[in-house]
Structure 1
Amino acid sequence: MIKKLHESGGGSPTLGLGHLQFEALVTAARLSANPNDFALVALLGLLGLRIFEACGSNIADLGEAHGHRVLRVRGKGGKVVLVPLPTAVARAIERAVDERTAGPLLRNIHGGRMDRHAATRRLKHLAHIAGIRMPRMHPHMLRHAFVTTMLDAGVSLRDVQIAARHADPRTTMRYDRARKNLDRHPNYILAAYMASGT
């Protein structure tokens, strides 16, 4: 079940994870013996971080603000934002950090800072375990899943734009248009309506 997301700019298809594939990947990561796997998937797919933001995050970036557990993230252009940590994400990070008090949140299998290449290898491994057949698995697919899953859950376009930290609302709208093309086609609504009446 591969979703093709068409960016309106160049028209080239970007492969995204469907909802069930995303759930399967989260489950595989949660059950992995490597605690960095769930933290990686949580940071990318449940917080919507870009890969350089996730790999660049340190234990020192964890904190509290206004009664929320937060992660200080350095995004595009060096802009720093506080991202709240839902309980599942906080637990995933705690598991990866363990008893450490300094250093990177995500580590590779040698104990050093995880980079985008190591992250891609881990995601390919998890996708294989989850039974996800993708021609090319890469970290940005989880950011796609973050945005489209939020939209599917009924979060407003404006709130998704804020959560994804898209400077231009048209970027968020591209995700929305791509998912609406087939997933929300009126044919499905009509069929569901007719089925409920019979």
Structure 2
Amino acid sequence: MEPGAQVEAYLRHLAAERAPSPHTLDAYRRDLGKLLAMMQAHGVDSFHSLTPDRVRGMVATSHRQGLAPSSLQRLLSSWRGLFRYLAAEGLLAHDPVAGVRGPKLRRKLPQVLDTDEAAGLVTVEGDEPLNVRDRAMLELFYSSGLRLSELTGLRWGDLDLVGGEVRVLGKGRKLRIVPVGRFAVQALQALASGGNAGPEQPVFPGRGGAPISSRAVQLRFKQIGLRQGTMKRIHPHLLRHTFASHMLESSGDLRAVQELLGHADIATTQIYTHLDFQHLSKVYDSAHPRAKKRMP
């Protein structure tokens, strides 16, 4: 089987077994397409001929050409998945990325809003339908820490406004139930009172009654941030980061925050401990009488 056909077989397997979002599947397709292009440029016509040294060469060349370390790490992750699949199917006897590491990543902490900034952002005034919808979206993001894809895919049947809960289908089609705060419940009730709130109806419809697109939400949040004069760039994931940081800062319960966010690996959640430490460091520096004083 040609490498291109093997990649297509893997993508079909991925779609059937893990049911990733179309966006994620497209990202895998692009990453594996880059592998095929690099193999062709290096005169490698099969995965059997691909060795760790050759892969290191490809990674090094891409890095010199300006591809970011994070992009190279993602490429290697996609390639590892392909080679694991081929090995499990008996189509590959060795792992071409064994021992191959991408360039070291600089740890970049996500930006978050402080409590006053968050409260100001989600306070959307006015009873016009667009304002009611925007207020409900912002409150739900900040209240429950949803991913953008989880919010756009919500149906009214997923919400329990009496019990204050929302049922979401996260990455890997994993179901989790997340609390919904009082202000978000009130905003959603106001949105539901406008009609079209049947169990199968999208909570946030776009054109033609279909669920609102991710791009439409991103653009709307950018407009709201500019209108409210917020100095930080406003985007949906900023509110997820803010939710996680504020929950961890208040509770100190890393495992609970992991469950609320739907992270499979607690290491992903641990980045918020660094954010919390930054906050504590600022408090220490401003409050401790000897924090910034030189020793005599």
TM-score (norm: length of structure 2): 0.54
Separation of aligned partners in 2, 1:42 and 1:10? 32
Matches within 5 A, 1:150-165: 150-165=247-262
Unaligned runs of 5+ in 1: 1-6
1:110 deviation in Å?
Answer: 7.0
Separation of aligned partners in 1, 2:263 and 2:150? 14
- After superposition, the C-alpha distances for 1:45-67 in whole angstroms (9 at most, x for unaligned) are 11000000000001121237xx8
Separation of aligned partners in 1, 2:239 and 2:120? 12
| Structure with a larger share of its residues in strand | 1
- 1:26 and 2:122 aligned: yes
1:190 deviation in Å?
Answer: 6.2
1:40 deviation in Å?
Answer: 0.9
Q: CA RMSD in A?
A: 2.8
Runs of 4+, deviation exceeding 6 Å? none
| Amino acid in the other structure paired with 1:122 | R
| Amino acid in the other structure paired with 1:11 | R
| Amino acid in the other structure paired with 2:156 | I
Matches within 5 A, 1:76-155: 76-98=171-193, 99-102=195-198, 103-108=201-206, 112-134=210-232, 136-155=233-252
Query: Which 10-residue stretch deviates more, 158-167 or 107-116?
Result: 107-116
Partner of 2:159: 62
Higher relative contact order (CA 8 A, sep 6+): 1
1:146 deviation in Å?
Answer: 0.4
Unaligned runs of 5+ in 2: 1-69, 71-103, 290-296
1:18 deviation in Å?
Answer: 3.2
TM-score (norm: length of structure 1): 0.78
| Amino acid in the other structure paired with 1:105 | V
Structure 1 contact 63–70 (Cα < 8 Å) conserved: yes
**Residues 90, 191 of structure 1: alpha-carbon distance in 2 compared, 3 angstrom cutoff:** closer
Matches within 5 A, 1:173-192: 173-181=270-278, 183-185=279-281, 188-189=283-284, 191-192=286-287
Structure 2 contact 158–168 (Cα < 8 Å) conserved: yes
Structure number with bigger Rg: 2
Question: Which of the residues 170, 185, 190 maps onto 2:267?
Answer: 170
Partner of 1:3: none
1:145 deviation in Å?
Answer: 0.4
- After superposition, the C-alpha distances for 1:42-97 in whole angstroms (9 at most, x for unaligned) are 22111000000000001121237xx8232221111111222232222211112222
**Residues 160, 122 of structure 1: alpha-carbon distance in 2 compared, 3 angstrom cutoff:** same
